[in-house]
Amino acid sequence: MIVSNIFLGMIGPWQIAVVVVLVLLLFGGKKIPELMRGLGSGIKEFKDASKEEDTPDKIEEK
């Protein structure tokens, strides 16, 4: 039953706690802020690139 809950997307607080503990054990407390900073900058670059891609299309339509 528990395995089916995970695969069906029914994640509870205990599963989230286990994931957080595993991440802390794997990466350590000092490495996590660096990883999040890198993830944030990657998302920002992706958004900027998608905005730049949309801009020429709108100019051509006008």
pLDDT at 6: 57
Q: Return mean pLDDT, the chain.
A: 79
For residue 12, give every residue at least 6 positions away whose Cβ sits within 8 Å of its Cβ, in sequence order, or none: 5
Greater model confidence, 55 or 21:
21
**pLDDT per position as a tens digit, 5-17:** 556 677 788 888 8
**pLDDT per position as a tens digit, 38-58:** 999 999 999 998 887 766 555
**15 within 8 A of 6, measured Cβ to Cβ:** yes
